[in-house]
Structure 1
Amino acid sequence: MKFAIPTLALALAASTNAQFYNQSAPFHLILLSSNTTINGSTLSACHEGAAIEGLCLSNSISISQPESIAPGTFTFNYSDSVVTPNVTLGSPGYLTYLLQGSNFNFSEPMGLYVNPTTNVALPLFYPGDNLATVVSFDESNLMNIQGYIDDTKSPAAVGNITAYYRWYSCTTYYTGYTYVMLSWVLGAREPQNPTCIKVNVKRVFT
Protein backbone atom coordinates (compact mmCIF):
# COMPACT_ATOMS: atom_id res chain seq x y z
CA MET A 1 0.00 0.00 0.00
CA LYS A 2 1.27 3.47 -0.88
CA PHE A 3 0.82 6.48 1.37
CA ALA A 4 0.54 10.00 -0.01
CA ILE A 5 2.46 12.64 1.94
CA PRO A 6 0.33 15.80 2.18
CA THR A 7 1.35 18.71 -0.04
CA LEU A 8 2.13 20.93 2.96
CA ALA A 9 4.49 18.34 4.38
CA LEU A 10 6.26 18.11 1.05
CA ALA A 11 6.67 21.89 0.97
CA LEU A 12 8.25 21.91 4.42
CA ALA A 13 10.54 19.00 3.57
CA ALA A 14 11.62 20.71 0.34
CA SER A 15 12.71 23.80 2.28
CA THR A 16 15.65 21.85 3.71
CA ASN A 17 17.18 21.88 0.21
CA ALA A 18 16.19 25.43 -0.72
CA GLN A 19 18.48 28.29 -1.62
CA PHE A 20 17.47 31.14 0.65
CA TYR A 21 18.83 34.15 -1.24
CA ASN A 22 16.44 36.86 -0.02
CA GLN A 23 17.51 38.62 3.16
CA SER A 24 15.43 40.50 5.72
CA ALA A 25 16.25 43.78 7.40
CA PRO A 26 18.62 43.42 10.38
CA PHE A 27 17.22 42.67 13.83
CA HIS A 28 18.12 41.84 17.42
CA LEU A 29 17.05 38.69 19.25
CA ILE A 30 15.39 39.19 22.64
CA LEU A 31 14.62 36.51 25.22
CA LEU A 32 11.18 36.31 26.81
CA SER A 33 10.97 34.31 30.02
CA SER A 34 9.05 34.03 33.27
CA ASN A 35 12.50 34.17 34.89
CA THR A 36 12.96 37.89 35.60
CA THR A 37 16.76 37.57 35.65
CA ILE A 38 16.96 36.78 31.94
CA ASN A 39 13.65 38.17 30.65
CA GLY A 40 14.45 40.90 28.11
CA SER A 41 18.06 39.78 27.65
CA THR A 42 19.57 40.15 24.19
CA LEU A 43 21.61 37.58 22.31
CA SER A 44 25.08 38.11 20.84
CA ALA A 45 27.38 36.07 18.64
CA CYS A 46 30.24 34.63 20.71
CA HIS A 47 33.37 32.81 19.55
CA GLU A 48 33.19 28.99 19.66
CA GLY A 49 36.01 28.05 17.29
CA ALA A 50 37.47 28.86 13.89
CA ALA A 51 34.69 30.80 12.08
CA ILE A 52 32.12 29.28 14.48
CA GLU A 53 29.89 31.47 16.62
CA GLY A 54 27.34 30.63 19.29
CA LEU A 55 24.36 32.61 20.59
CA CYS A 56 25.27 33.93 24.03
CA LEU A 57 23.27 36.08 26.40
CA SER A 58 24.81 39.53 25.98
CA ASN A 59 24.89 40.38 29.67
CA SER A 60 25.70 36.97 31.17
CA ILE A 61 29.10 36.57 32.76
CA SER A 62 30.86 33.21 32.35
CA ILE A 63 34.34 31.74 32.21
CA SER A 64 34.63 32.52 28.51
CA GLN A 65 32.68 35.81 28.65
CA PRO A 66 33.94 37.83 31.66
CA GLU A 67 32.17 41.03 30.53
CA SER A 68 28.88 42.01 28.92
CA ILE A 69 29.01 42.38 25.14
CA ALA A 70 26.95 44.36 22.63
CA PRO A 71 23.70 42.85 21.32
CA GLY A 72 24.21 40.97 18.07
CA THR A 73 22.67 41.94 14.76
CA PHE A 74 21.14 39.12 12.71
CA THR A 75 19.18 38.63 9.49
CA PHE A 76 16.77 36.04 8.10
CA ASN A 77 17.35 34.48 4.70
CA TYR A 78 14.30 33.16 2.86
CA SER A 79 13.08 32.23 -0.61
CA ASP A 80 10.10 33.35 -2.68
CA SER A 81 10.07 29.95 -4.39
CA VAL A 82 9.39 27.95 -1.20
CA VAL A 83 5.74 27.52 -0.23
CA THR A 84 4.99 28.59 3.35
CA PRO A 85 2.98 25.73 4.90
CA ASN A 86 1.35 27.99 7.52
CA VAL A 87 1.61 31.78 7.22
CA THR A 88 0.74 32.29 10.89
CA LEU A 89 3.66 30.09 11.96
CA GLY A 90 6.06 31.80 9.54
CA SER A 91 8.05 31.23 6.37
CA PRO A 92 11.00 28.79 6.39
CA GLY A 93 14.54 30.14 6.14
CA TYR A 94 17.92 30.50 7.82
CA LEU A 95 18.89 32.69 10.77
CA THR A 96 22.16 34.32 9.66
CA TYR A 97 25.02 36.29 11.19
CA LEU A 98 27.66 38.31 9.33
CA LEU A 99 31.10 37.31 10.62
CA GLN A 100 33.55 40.09 9.80
CA GLY A 101 37.32 39.94 9.87
CA SER A 102 40.20 42.06 8.65
CA ASN A 103 39.97 40.60 5.14
CA PHE A 104 36.71 38.64 4.98
CA ASN A 105 32.94 38.83 5.47
CA PHE A 106 31.03 35.55 5.93
CA SER A 107 27.25 35.42 6.14
CA GLU A 108 26.84 32.31 8.28
CA PRO A 109 23.58 30.38 8.78
CA MET A 110 22.69 28.85 12.13
CA GLY A 111 22.66 25.09 12.56
CA LEU A 112 21.97 22.88 15.57
CA TYR A 113 24.99 21.01 16.92
CA VAL A 114 23.80 17.73 18.42
CA ASN A 115 25.83 15.78 20.98
CA PRO A 116 24.31 12.28 21.18
CA THR A 117 24.93 12.07 24.95
CA THR A 118 22.59 14.97 25.79
CA ASN A 119 19.17 16.25 24.71
CA VAL A 120 20.43 19.86 24.70
CA ALA A 121 21.52 20.99 21.22
CA LEU A 122 23.54 24.15 20.56
CA PRO A 123 22.63 26.69 17.85
CA LEU A 124 25.92 27.56 16.12
CA PHE A 125 26.77 29.69 13.09
CA TYR A 126 28.95 27.86 10.56
CA PRO A 127 30.42 28.87 7.18
CA GLY A 128 28.36 27.43 4.32
CA ASP A 129 24.83 26.06 4.55
CA ASN A 130 25.43 22.31 4.65
CA LEU A 131 24.88 22.29 8.44
CA ALA A 132 22.11 24.90 8.53
CA THR A 133 18.81 24.35 10.34
CA VAL A 134 15.57 25.72 8.88
CA VAL A 135 13.74 28.05 11.30
CA SER A 136 10.75 30.39 11.06
CA PHE A 137 9.40 33.51 12.76
CA ASP A 138 5.68 33.43 13.51
CA GLU A 139 3.18 36.30 13.38
CA SER A 140 4.41 37.44 16.82
CA ASN A 141 8.04 37.36 15.60
CA LEU A 142 8.84 34.37 17.80
CA MET A 143 11.45 31.99 16.41
CA ASN A 144 10.37 28.38 15.98
CA ILE A 145 11.30 25.15 14.26
CA GLN A 146 8.51 23.41 12.36
CA GLY A 147 7.81 19.76 11.76
CA TYR A 148 5.10 17.56 10.29
CA ILE A 149 5.82 14.21 11.99
CA ASP A 150 4.54 13.47 15.51
CA ASP A 151 6.18 10.27 16.72
CA THR A 152 4.67 10.52 20.22
CA LYS A 153 1.81 8.53 18.68
CA SER A 154 1.82 5.00 17.28
CA PRO A 155 1.70 4.94 14.36
CA ALA A 156 3.30 8.35 13.92
CA ALA A 157 0.94 11.14 12.87
CA VAL A 158 2.14 12.71 9.62
CA GLY A 159 1.06 15.88 7.85
CA ASN A 160 0.01 18.34 10.57
CA ILE A 161 2.45 21.27 10.46
CA THR A 162 3.44 22.18 14.02
CA ALA A 163 5.71 24.93 15.30
CA TYR A 164 7.96 24.04 18.23
CA TYR A 165 9.45 26.58 20.65
CA ARG A 166 11.90 24.44 22.61
CA TRP A 167 14.36 27.22 23.36
CA TYR A 168 16.24 27.45 26.66
CA SER A 169 19.01 29.51 28.19
CA CYS A 170 21.70 27.10 29.45
CA THR A 171 25.27 27.20 30.67
CA THR A 172 27.05 25.12 28.06
CA TYR A 173 30.47 23.77 27.17
CA TYR A 174 31.71 23.40 23.59
CA THR A 175 35.32 22.92 22.38
CA GLY A 176 36.82 24.61 25.44
CA TYR A 177 34.34 27.50 25.75
CA THR A 178 31.82 27.90 28.57
CA TYR A 179 28.98 30.34 27.95
CA VAL A 180 25.39 31.01 28.96
CA MET A 181 23.85 30.27 25.57
CA LEU A 182 20.60 29.88 23.75
CA SER A 183 19.97 26.15 23.44
CA TRP A 184 17.40 23.83 21.89
CA VAL A 185 15.99 20.78 23.65
CA LEU A 186 15.51 17.69 21.49
CA GLY A 187 12.13 16.07 22.03
CA ALA A 188 9.31 16.81 24.43
CA ARG A 189 11.11 16.12 27.72
CA GLU A 190 12.80 18.56 30.08
CA PRO A 191 16.47 19.40 29.40
CA GLN A 192 18.94 17.19 31.24
CA ASN A 193 21.24 20.18 31.78
CA PRO A 194 20.16 21.51 35.22
CA THR A 195 21.10 25.13 34.36
CA CYS A 196 18.54 25.43 31.56
CA ILE A 197 15.75 28.03 31.86
CA LYS A 198 12.79 28.10 29.44
CA VAL A 199 12.69 31.06 27.04
CA ASN A 200 11.11 32.26 23.84
CA VAL A 201 13.17 34.13 21.24
CA LYS A 202 11.68 37.28 19.74
CA ARG A 203 12.89 39.14 16.65
CA VAL A 204 12.98 42.93 17.04
CA PHE A 205 14.00 44.88 13.94
CA THR A 206 16.65 47.56 14.43
Structure 2
Amino acid sequence: MKTVSILSALFGLTLAQYDTYSAPFRLVLSSDDPTLNNTALGACHEGAAVEGLCKTNQTTSDPPTFYTTFYQATSSNSGSTYDTPSILYYNLTISSGTQIPSAMRFSQDYTSDVAIPLFMPGNSTYTPVYVDQDCEELYIPRRVDDSVSPPNPLAPPEKVKSWYVCLTKEAYEYYTLVWHVGGRGSPANPSCEEVQVRRVFT
Protein backbone atom coordinates (compact mmCIF):
# COMPACT_ATOMS: atom_id res chain seq x y z
CA MET A 1 0.00 0.00 0.00
CA LYS A 2 2.89 2.36 0.72
CA THR A 3 4.21 1.82 -2.81
CA VAL A 4 0.80 2.54 -4.27
CA SER A 5 0.56 5.74 -2.18
CA ILE A 6 3.93 6.93 -3.41
CA LEU A 7 2.96 6.18 -7.01
CA SER A 8 -0.31 8.04 -6.55
CA ALA A 9 1.52 11.06 -5.15
CA LEU A 10 3.99 11.08 -8.02
CA PHE A 11 1.16 10.65 -10.48
CA GLY A 12 -0.65 13.65 -9.00
CA LEU A 13 2.43 15.86 -9.16
CA THR A 14 3.19 14.95 -12.74
CA LEU A 15 -0.39 15.48 -13.81
CA ALA A 16 -0.56 19.03 -12.48
CA GLN A 17 -0.85 20.35 -16.03
CA TYR A 18 -3.12 17.47 -17.12
CA ASP A 19 -5.89 17.97 -14.61
CA THR A 20 -9.03 17.14 -16.60
CA TYR A 21 -9.99 13.49 -16.99
CA SER A 22 -12.26 12.06 -19.63
CA ALA A 23 -15.03 9.53 -19.37
CA PRO A 24 -13.94 5.97 -20.15
CA PHE A 25 -13.62 4.97 -23.79
CA ARG A 26 -12.45 2.21 -26.06
CA LEU A 27 -9.83 2.52 -28.78
CA VAL A 28 -11.49 1.15 -31.88
CA LEU A 29 -9.71 0.39 -35.14
CA SER A 30 -10.74 1.40 -38.64
CA SER A 31 -9.04 -0.68 -41.30
CA ASP A 32 -9.41 -2.13 -44.79
CA ASP A 33 -8.64 -5.47 -43.14
CA PRO A 34 -11.99 -6.97 -42.06
CA THR A 35 -10.32 -8.88 -39.21
CA LEU A 36 -9.23 -5.55 -37.69
CA ASN A 37 -11.99 -3.16 -38.71
CA ASN A 38 -14.29 -2.07 -35.86
CA THR A 39 -12.38 -4.10 -33.27
CA ALA A 40 -11.18 -2.70 -29.96
CA LEU A 41 -7.61 -2.62 -28.73
CA GLY A 42 -6.94 -4.22 -25.37
CA ALA A 43 -4.21 -4.00 -22.75
CA CYS A 44 -1.91 -7.04 -22.88
CA HIS A 45 0.91 -8.14 -20.60
CA GLU A 46 4.38 -7.06 -21.77
CA GLY A 47 6.27 -7.39 -18.49
CA ALA A 48 6.01 -6.58 -14.77
CA ALA A 49 3.31 -3.88 -14.58
CA VAL A 50 3.82 -3.15 -18.29
CA GLU A 51 0.96 -3.38 -20.78
CA GLY A 52 0.91 -3.12 -24.56
CA LEU A 53 -2.03 -2.48 -26.90
CA CYS A 54 -3.10 -5.71 -28.58
CA LYS A 55 -5.74 -6.56 -31.13
CA THR A 56 -8.84 -8.24 -29.70
CA ASN A 57 -12.02 -9.74 -31.10
CA GLN A 58 -14.14 -7.28 -29.15
CA THR A 59 -16.26 -4.88 -31.22
CA THR A 60 -18.39 -1.87 -30.35
CA SER A 61 -21.43 -4.15 -30.21
CA ASP A 62 -19.85 -6.06 -27.31
CA PRO A 63 -19.96 -4.73 -23.76
CA PRO A 64 -16.71 -3.01 -22.73
CA THR A 65 -14.30 -4.86 -20.48
CA PHE A 66 -11.67 -3.56 -18.07
CA TYR A 67 -8.81 -4.37 -20.42
CA THR A 68 -10.36 -2.47 -23.34
CA THR A 69 -11.20 0.61 -21.28
CA PHE A 70 -8.92 3.66 -21.39
CA TYR A 71 -8.94 7.28 -20.27
CA GLN A 72 -7.51 10.61 -21.35
CA ALA A 73 -6.05 13.47 -19.33
CA THR A 74 -5.89 16.99 -20.74
CA SER A 75 -5.22 20.45 -19.38
CA SER A 76 -8.21 22.43 -18.12
CA ASN A 77 -6.59 25.46 -19.76
CA SER A 78 -7.25 23.98 -23.20
CA GLY A 79 -11.03 23.99 -22.67
CA SER A 80 -11.40 20.88 -24.83
CA THR A 81 -10.24 17.30 -25.24
CA TYR A 82 -9.81 17.85 -28.99
CA ASP A 83 -6.66 18.86 -30.89
CA THR A 84 -4.72 19.40 -27.69
CA PRO A 85 -1.94 17.35 -26.08
CA SER A 86 -3.26 14.62 -23.82
CA ILE A 87 -2.06 11.65 -21.84
CA LEU A 88 -3.58 8.29 -22.69
CA TYR A 89 -3.80 6.00 -19.71
CA TYR A 90 -5.01 2.64 -18.49
CA ASN A 91 -5.87 1.62 -14.94
CA LEU A 92 -3.73 -1.37 -14.03
CA THR A 93 -5.45 -3.53 -11.41
CA ILE A 94 -3.08 -5.29 -8.99
CA SER A 95 -3.79 -8.30 -6.79
CA SER A 96 -5.24 -6.23 -3.94
CA GLY A 97 -7.81 -4.77 -6.31
CA THR A 98 -6.11 -1.37 -6.25
CA GLN A 99 -6.04 0.43 -9.59
CA ILE A 100 -2.82 2.16 -10.61
CA PRO A 101 -3.02 4.79 -13.38
CA SER A 102 -0.51 3.89 -16.08
CA ALA A 103 0.50 6.38 -18.77
CA MET A 104 1.24 5.48 -22.37
CA ARG A 105 4.66 6.09 -23.82
CA PHE A 106 6.40 4.92 -26.96
CA SER A 107 9.14 2.31 -26.70
CA GLN A 108 11.49 2.11 -29.66
CA ASP A 109 14.42 -0.01 -30.69
CA TYR A 110 16.54 2.46 -32.64
CA THR A 111 17.21 -0.17 -35.32
CA SER A 112 13.44 -0.41 -36.00
CA ASP A 113 11.17 2.04 -37.81
CA VAL A 114 8.24 1.48 -35.44
CA ALA A 115 7.60 2.47 -31.84
CA ILE A 116 5.41 0.33 -29.56
CA PRO A 117 2.95 2.04 -27.20
CA LEU A 118 3.37 0.75 -23.65
CA PHE A 119 1.54 1.60 -20.42
CA MET A 120 3.64 1.86 -17.26
CA PRO A 121 2.60 2.88 -13.71
CA GLY A 122 2.81 6.56 -12.90
CA ASN A 123 3.33 9.40 -15.28
CA SER A 124 6.93 10.52 -15.10
CA THR A 125 7.29 9.63 -18.78
CA TYR A 126 4.57 9.72 -21.43
CA THR A 127 4.01 10.33 -25.14
CA PRO A 128 1.32 12.95 -25.74
CA VAL A 129 -1.37 12.13 -28.29
CA TYR A 130 -4.13 14.25 -29.80
CA VAL A 131 -7.75 13.56 -30.80
CA ASP A 132 -9.01 14.91 -34.12
CA GLN A 133 -12.25 16.83 -33.53
CA ASP A 134 -13.54 15.94 -37.00
CA CYS A 135 -13.42 12.18 -36.58
CA GLU A 136 -12.30 11.20 -33.04
CA GLU A 137 -9.09 9.67 -34.42
CA LEU A 138 -5.78 9.75 -32.56
CA TYR A 139 -2.87 11.59 -34.13
CA ILE A 140 0.45 13.28 -33.44
CA PRO A 141 1.12 16.68 -35.03
CA ARG A 142 4.00 17.24 -37.45
CA ARG A 143 5.20 20.80 -36.92
CA VAL A 144 8.17 20.76 -39.30
CA ASP A 145 8.49 19.07 -42.70
CA ASP A 146 12.05 17.78 -42.73
CA SER A 147 11.65 15.96 -46.04
CA VAL A 148 12.83 19.18 -47.69
CA SER A 149 15.90 21.33 -47.16
CA PRO A 150 15.80 23.65 -45.41
CA PRO A 151 13.11 22.13 -43.15
CA ASN A 152 9.74 23.81 -43.60
CA PRO A 153 7.67 24.84 -40.53
CA LEU A 154 4.05 23.77 -40.87
CA ALA A 155 1.29 26.10 -39.72
CA PRO A 156 -1.11 24.64 -38.88
CA PRO A 157 0.67 21.38 -38.02
CA GLU A 158 -0.08 18.30 -40.10
CA LYS A 159 -2.20 15.67 -38.32
CA VAL A 160 -0.15 12.49 -38.72
CA LYS A 161 -1.99 9.22 -38.11
CA SER A 162 0.79 6.72 -38.64
CA TRP A 163 -0.80 3.77 -36.83
CA TYR A 164 -0.37 0.12 -37.78
CA VAL A 165 -1.11 -3.27 -36.25
CA CYS A 166 1.91 -5.56 -36.58
CA LEU A 167 3.23 -8.81 -35.18
CA THR A 168 5.76 -7.53 -32.65
CA LYS A 169 7.94 -8.88 -29.89
CA GLU A 170 8.53 -6.45 -27.03
CA ALA A 171 8.49 -9.09 -24.30
CA TYR A 172 6.03 -11.47 -25.95
CA GLU A 173 4.88 -12.08 -29.50
CA TYR A 174 1.58 -10.29 -30.12
CA TYR A 175 -0.26 -8.37 -32.79
CA THR A 176 0.01 -4.90 -31.30
CA LEU A 177 -0.59 -1.30 -32.21
CA VAL A 178 2.56 0.47 -33.37
CA TRP A 179 3.51 3.96 -34.54
CA HIS A 180 5.47 4.17 -37.79
CA VAL A 181 8.24 6.62 -37.00
CA GLY A 182 8.53 9.38 -39.58
CA GLY A 183 5.06 8.70 -40.95
CA ARG A 184 6.11 8.29 -44.59
CA GLY A 185 5.94 5.07 -46.57
CA SER A 186 5.22 1.80 -44.76
CA PRO A 187 6.97 -0.03 -41.92
CA ALA A 188 9.63 -2.58 -42.83
CA ASN A 189 7.77 -5.24 -40.82
CA PRO A 190 5.85 -7.20 -43.51
CA SER A 191 3.05 -8.15 -41.11
CA CYS A 192 1.93 -4.54 -40.59
CA GLU A 193 -1.58 -3.45 -41.53
CA GLU A 194 -2.45 0.26 -41.60
CA VAL A 195 -5.21 1.33 -39.20
CA GLN A 196 -6.83 4.43 -37.76
CA VAL A 197 -7.52 4.55 -34.03
CA ARG A 198 -10.83 6.07 -32.91
CA ARG A 199 -11.90 7.11 -29.43
CA VAL A 200 -15.34 5.60 -28.74
CA PHE A 201 -16.86 6.48 -25.37
CA THR A 202 -18.49 3.64 -23.46
**Cα distance, 1:127 vs structure 2:** 1.7
Mark the CA change 1:149 to 1:130 in structure 2 (over 3 Å): closer, same or farther: farther
**Cα distance, 1:83 vs structure 2:** 8.3
Higher helix share: 2
Structure-2 residue corresponding to 1:180? 175
Runs of 4+ in 1 over 3 A off after TM superposition: none
One-letter amino acid matched to 2:181: L
**Cα distance, 1:128 vs structure 2:** 2.4
**Could you give the per-residue CA deviations for residues 16-68 of structure 1, whole angstroms, max 9, x where no partner exists?**
x97212110000111001111211111000010111100001139xxxxxxxx
Structure-1 residue corresponding to 2:194? 198
Structure-2 residue corresponding to 1:24? 22
Aligned-partner Cα distance in 2 for 1:106–1:124: 15
Structure-2 residue corresponding to 1:116? 110
Aligned-partner Cα distance in 2 for 1:31–1:82: 27
Structure-1 residue corresponding to 2:83? 90
Aligned counterpart for 1:129 among listed residues 105, 123, 126: 123
**Could you give the per-residue CA deviations for residues 131-182 of structure 1, whole angstroms, max 9, x where no partner exists?**
210101111110111131211111111242121100001010012x011111
TM-score by length of 2: 0.81
One-letter amino acid matched to 1:48: E
Long gaps (5+) in structure 2: 1-14, 59-63
Q: Quick check: 1:18–1:82 contact (8 Å CA) kept in 2?
A: no
Structure-2 residue corresponding to 1:171? 167
One-letter amino acid matched to 2:51: E
How many equivalent residue pairs?
178
TM-score by length of 1: 0.80
Structure-2 residue corresponding to 1:41? 39
Long gaps (5+) in structure 1: 1-16, 61-68
Higher strand share: 2
Aligned-partner Cα distance in 1 for 2:189–2:79: 36
Aligned-partner Cα distance in 2 for 1:144–1:76: 14
Aligned-partner Cα distance in 1 for 2:17–2:120: 16
Over the matched positions of the two proteins, sequence identity in percent amounts to: 38
One-letter amino acid matched to 2:44: C
Aligned-partner Cα distance in 1 for 2:90–2:181: 23
Specify the SS of the correspondent of 1:58: strand
Structure-2 residue corresponding to 1:102? 95
Aligned-partner Cα distance in 2 for 1:113–1:83: 30
